[in-house]
């Protein structure tokens, strides 16, 4: 069975492109439009093979979701890839401190995203 990814991204066009390029790699993909939806999805479907988190999510921000994941024993080991459009060093530092496994600034190259995802979770 294909490795399951959860992508939390509020921007529909970006979400669509992510779903397309990673679906093409053979991953099974669930999506969430904001932080709250992402947390609910994690609760109902358990740990995914990888979590892709946008930093600026509505309702519950990406960092808050990351914090919740890292303090939950069942989810602790889930690899997390963070995306941000702010591109500031502060966000990158914070993501590393909070236990994100990779960090990619927008706009990203598809190749970078695919490589990072592959490194963190084989399809």
* Interacting residues toward another protein by CB under 8 A: 10-11, 13-14, 16-18, 20-21, 34, 56-59, 61, 85-88, 105-111
Which residue from 31, 59, 53 is spatially nearest to 99, judged by alpha carbons? 53
Which is closer to another protein, CB of 65 or CB of 121? Answer: 65
Q: How far is the CB of 83 from another protein (least distance, A)?
A: 8
Q: Is 21 exposed, middle or buried (0-12, 13-18, 19+ CB in 10 A)?
A: middle
Which is closer to another protein, CB of 68 or CB of 85? Answer: 85
- d(CA 113, CA 67) in angstroms, rounded, equals 22
Q: How far is the CB of 46 from another protein (least distance, A)?
A: 26
Q: How far is the CB of 77 from another protein (least distance, A)?
A: 27
Which residue from 5, 34, 1, 26 is spatially nearest to 123, judged by alpha carbons? 26
């Amino acid at each position: 069975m294909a490795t399951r990814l959860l992508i939390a991204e509020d921007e529909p066009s970006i979400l669509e492109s992510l779903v397309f390029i990673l679906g093409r790699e053979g991953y099974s993909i669930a999506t969430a439009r904001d932080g709250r939806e992402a947390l609910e999805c994690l609760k109902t479907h358990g740990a995914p093979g990888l979590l892709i988190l946008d930093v600026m999510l509505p309702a519950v921000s990406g960092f808050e979701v990351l914090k919740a994941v890292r303090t939950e024993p069942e989810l602790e080991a889930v690899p997390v890839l963070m995306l941000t459009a702010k591109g500031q060093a502060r966000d990158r530092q914070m993501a590393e401190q909070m236990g994100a496994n990779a960090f990619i600034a927008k706009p990203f190259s598809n190749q970078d995203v695919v490589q990072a995802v592959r490194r963190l979770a084989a399809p």
